[in-house]
Amino acid sequence: MSTIQINCRAILSDLDGTLIDSLKCVDYAWEAWATDHALDIDWIKKSAHGMRTADSLKLLVPHLDLATEMKALEDLECSVTTDLVEIAGAKTFLNSLPKAHWAIVTSGSRRLANHRLGHVGLPRPTVFVTADDVTAGKPDPQCYLKAAQGLGIDPADCIVLEDSPAGIKAGKAAGARVIAIGFSRADHDISAADFVVHDLTRMRVVSSRDGTLMISLDTSEK
């Protein structure tokens, strides 16, 4: 076991792949959509992970109506809840955090994020930044800067939890330290993260005092 302790004032967490294992739902939606549009699903998965749907669609099908395609994809994603579960340890970890010291920052829409949170039963934060709340998606830092501002905490005093290269870049660009959840897949380079943990059972709030959180991390791979 390799354990370290770090201090911060807030946790800013991505949702899909970080708090909720939605990979099969996302894959189903994008595969169905890609088939309808005769597009390469492997390239889409590699390129779009962690990005807002709108940004991905602008890249993939700039000639099609954005609103129509976004609704089609969102409807597909909301229609599937099979295998939609929390990332191990997510609920316990979130419940251990003071309400004023954590936020969710997702590239998904508010409708989709609320749908998944409700299905899995994770607590809802006071500050909840979705794709609907920003004009530029990850890897732009706007979403994380907005979350830190909502909590009234300097981004440099925040820890970002992420699973995608785009999200890691966004957190770092915001000035926060970044913990990657899950060890890197071949097509997803997470080497830019400051720390990596297998899942949220490997993170524990040791103490919360005077607005400062002490977090224990087990960074061993197994």
Q: What are 47-85's pLDDT values in tens digits?
A: 666 678 888 888 889 999 999 998 988 898 888 887 899
Instruction: Give 1's pLDDT tier (boundaries 50, 70, 90).
Output: low
The pTM of this model reads: 0.87
How far apart CA 133 and CA 143 sit, in angstroms, is: 8
Predicted pLDDT of residue 188? 73
Cα dist from 114 to 52, 86, 130, 174, whole Å:
16, 14, 10, 25
Give the rounded percent of residues in the chain with a pLDDT score beyond 70.
95
Task: Provide the 3-class DSSP secondary structure of residue 89.
Answer: coil
Q: Find residue 71's DSSP bridge partners.
A: none
* 177 contact partners, CB below 8 Å, separation of at least 6: 6, 8, 158, 159, 160, 171, 194, 195
- Give the per-residue pLDDT at 196: 94
Catalytic-labelled residue, pool 16, 21, 157, 163? 16
* Active-site residue, from 14, 21, 157, 163: 14
Report the distance separating Cα 57 and Cα 51, nearest Å. 10
For residue 210, indicate whether it is catalytic: no
Band (pLDDT 50/70/90 cuts) for residue 207 is confident
pLDDT value, residue 30: 84
- Percentage of the chain beyond pLDDT 90 is 66
What lies within 8 Å, CB to CB, of 208 at 6+ separation is 97, 98, 101, 214
Of the ranges 19-23, 111-115, 147-151, the best mean pLDDT one: 147-151
Residue 43: its pLDDT value, please?
78
CA distance 220 to 35: 39
Q: Which residues contact 216 (CB under 8 A, 6 or more apart)?
A: 3, 4, 5, 203, 204, 205, 206
- pLDDT > 60? residue 18: yes
What is the pLDDT averaged over residues 98-111? 95
Query: Any catalytic annotation for residue 36?
Result: no
Straight-line distance from the first to the last Cα atom of the chain, in angstroms, rounded to the nearest whole number:
9
